[in-house]
Structure 1
Amino acid sequence: MTTRGETLHAPADLRGSSHGQPPTRLPLLVYVLALGTFLMGTTEFVVAGLLPEIAGDVQVSVARAGLLITVFAVGMIVGAPLMAMLTLRLPARLTLILALGIFAAGHVVVALGSSFALILGARFLTALATGAFWAVANVVAARTAGPAASSRALGVVGAGAMLANVVGVPLGAFAGQVMGWRGPFWALAVLGAAAMVLISRQVPRDTGGEKAISVRSELSALRSGRLWLALAACVTTAGGVLSTYTYISPLLTDRAGLAAGLVPLVLVGFGVGALAGFLVGGRLGDRRPYMTTIVAPAVTTVLLLAICLLSGYAGPTMVLVALLGLFGLGANPVLISLGVRFAGRAPSLGSALTVSAFNLGTAIGSWIAGLALDSPLGATGPAAVGTAIAALTLIPTIAIALTQRRRHSAAAHPQGAPAAR
């Protein structure tokens, strides 16, 4: 097993890897890591379906209980790069096991807690562990799959979180109604402990003899302009899609005239589309990474604009929301792969920063969308905001493609050598 700080090799050209065709099957470890991200995705959003029950039990308002979601997002933004640095000298296997252990313990504290402040603190701690797991899991998955299939592997790992929106969150909300809101947190604690066992068996032990990794070496990755372009694309991708998705319910009911009872079905359609988008985007990203990161946000911008214009019609809006899930998040595994690659000798930090960037985009986008919802634009305001933010994604992704083309051309025709005509 390679060290945490080893550089992942970049494809030799703009179409993808030159190391041969991707393997037909990904290693089992990739799917085990996807199980971990499934648990992480479930715990991040399951609270949304349990807020009234939690608020009533701990005697706070529903709005105040919503801080359980906010503090988790903040913990992810801060925690992913912070924990990547704090665990820098730890083997990847140990980091993943410790993260899952803290994840499980945090859920036990929430399940037993009677103080809102204690529960809030436990959620923040869980978010730190989630950030650490996600960042290292991305690096381990990309490394295990190899350069020819790294984007596909990251697509599978990310699909675990998308599957959480389709299965984990609705199932957790249903379980909370049947057995009380603490039930899902007990279940997540048990599943987190079980995932620790799987990780300990599947992730190889470090072979030893690794070079010491310094914080200065990791931070040197921050000098990469291409890394910052990839992170900017992560922010705008998440901001464009999730600013719209956060307030999709009033759009569907107030503008499209859809019955409130049908809204969950539309959300499931979005989740299924997002799951497919991660898997398909990961496959395409191994072959044509830069084209994928340009086409996906371009189509997303068109879809969001169409939602703005056609939101008065229920049928087209439902179809557009499902397509938004498919294209809107399809470039994410490729952007993660580029972030890891452009970080050079600091792949864990690069991965962690992409996690933070996605969460930062979600926080900023949803905040601006909330302001737009209260503006004269009304229910279509968030979609209008999403359209503008999604369009901004084309700036960094096109810049990355042009930069890579220049680098490829320079490598093919060194200075002083005659260029082919």
Structure 2
Amino acid sequence: MGTFLMGTSEFVVAGLLPDIAGDLAIGISEAGLLVTAFAIGMIATPAVAVAVLRVPERTTLLLSLAVFAAGHVVVALTDELSVVLVARFVTALVTGAFWSIAASVGARVSGPDDAARAIGMVLSGGILATVIGVPLGSVAGQLVGWRGPFWILAGLALLATVPVARIVPGGRSASTTVPLREQTAALMSRRLWVVMAACVLVTSAVMSTYSFIAPLLTERAGLSTELLPVGLAIFGVGAVTGTLGSGRLAGRAPYGTALSGGIAVVAALALLGAVSDHAAPAIALLAIAGLAGLGMNPVLMSMAVRFAEGAPTLATSLCTSMFNLGTAMGSAVTARAIGVFGPASIPVVGAAFAAALLVPLATLVIMARPGHGHRAGTTPQHDALVS
């Protein structure tokens, strides 16, 4: 439930941008700063993860939900863009802590062979938000104004503290007793940082497009505002399908799964650039990009956990940071492109980032060959130490 709410908060702005811009008397590109501010806050996830390494996981999760709720109340009450952006940034800090700890717990409990599937289940809560939370948030925004979804999220976050308090074990995990110096040393693998590059570029490609899905579909493709939640839901179905499905494939062929997904994202966004003025094919191609691109996330995160054995929370927090660095970078570039070239430039920017994504994905495939010291049967310890 926690990742679902936080995923809804992160993505719901995409369906509310025109309403936010109108109410605050700002442009669409300025309203897009709400996406950028949240992403920048998530980039700081590793620093937050280090700060709470000695704090019991349950305590961190509960505090994260409380601060998350408070941040949404602030957004719902203010008319100042600067205050909204600060609140989004602070909310993102605790969201990153929640996501990284939840993913780390899932990977640890499941074991290395099923880590990708377990992480996929954790991430699916956030991705499921694109199917249910974001469309419902868009509808609620149309009915009661864009502030309504923020009030709802604040209330639900407080309710989520009850199951977290009951289900998540108290005390500290074994990884929190490992000295910080040893955990940071585990982050020195070259493969790990190639994975980080892929994390940045995959979200730059997909989220630079999704963050501006409202103007893309309504202004460019001519979709009516009433049907926008349908387009959001279809994208979400693709994203959830990819997130859950890729976890099953990753256990057998992680590198091939990631590279195939990258190729599919390039193709989908390149085609979207050609047909973005037609609503039906645009929505279908967005769903494919969501399936292939966001479906790559649990695969990349499970690779990171393997390559940084002994520091799973730091590894997942780095992934979260890099995913959101990509969102911030992609949304900022796209906002500037919209200001110069209009909504038609949205998928063009995404396709350019997707093309760059193929470089680290192909590099991982090459590094996985026997000559580079990695074989299908190597142990997680070997993955973490070979550099």
Q: TM-score range by the shorter chain?
A: 0.7 to 0.9
Q: Which of 9, 28, 46 matches 1:81? A: 46
Alignment of 1:275-290 (within 5 A): 275-290=240-255
Alignment of 1:6-405 (within 5 A): 35-49=1-15, 61=26, 67-78=33-44, 80-111=45-76, 118-179=83-144, 181-206=146-171, 212-252=177-217, 256=221, 258-259=223-224, 261-311=226-276, 313-373=278-338, 379-405=343-369
**What is the TM-score normalised by the length of structure 2?**
0.85
- Range 304-313 or range 160-169, more displaced: 304-313
Change (3 A) 1:115 1:325: closer
Conserved? CA contact 1:89–1:213, under 8 Å = no
Conserved? CA contact 2:36–2:327, under 8 Å = no
Conserved? CA contact 2:64–2:95, under 8 Å = yes
Change (3 A) 1:411 1:244: closer
- 1:335-359 deviation line (CA, Å, top 9, x unaligned): 1111222222221111111111111
Alignment gaps of 5+ in structure 2: 379-387
- Range 217-226 or range 358-367, more displaced: 217-226
Higher helix share: 2
* CA positional deviation for 1:399: 1.9
- Range 332-341 or range 390-399, more displaced: 390-399
Q: Find the residue that maps to 1:287 and give its secondary structure.
A: coil
Change (3 A) 1:173 1:241: closer
- Range 88-97 or range 59-68, more displaced: 59-68
Change (3 A) 1:279 1:181: same
Select the structure of larger CA radius of gyration: 1
- Range 302-311 or range 324-333, more displaced: 302-311
Alignment gaps of 5+ in structure 1: 1-34, 413-421
Query: Aligned partner of 1:245: which letter?
Result: Y
* CA positional deviation for 1:193: 2.1
* CA positional deviation for 1:166: 2.0
- Number of equivalenced pairs: 375
CA–CA distance in 2 between the matches of 1:242 and 1:410? 32
CA–CA distance in 2 between the matches of 1:317 and 1:110? 32
Query: Aligned partner of 2:317: which letter?
Result: A
Change (3 A) 1:69 1:214: same
Identity of aligned residues (%): 49
CA–CA distance in 2 between the matches of 1:93 and 1:224? 30
CA–CA distance in 1 between the matches of 2:129 and 2:11? 9
- 1:97-124 deviation line (CA, Å, top 9, x unaligned): 2212222233344445576655443332
Q: Find the residue that maps to 1:90 and give its secondary structure.
A: coil
* CA positional deviation for 1:313: 4.7
* CA positional deviation for 1:291: 1.2
Conserved? CA contact 2:135–2:232, under 8 Å = no
* CA positional deviation for 1:332: 1.0
Q: Find the residue that maps to 1:393 and give its secondary structure.
A: helix
CA–CA distance in 1 between the matches of 2:376 and 2:129? 44
Conserved? CA contact 1:51–1:62, under 8 Å = no
Q: CA-atom RMSD, angstroms?
A: 3.0
CA–CA distance in 2 between the matches of 1:208 and 1:361? 30
Conserved? CA contact 1:152–1:333, under 8 Å = yes
* CA positional deviation for 1:365: 1.8
CA–CA distance in 1 between the matches of 2:22 and 2:277? 36
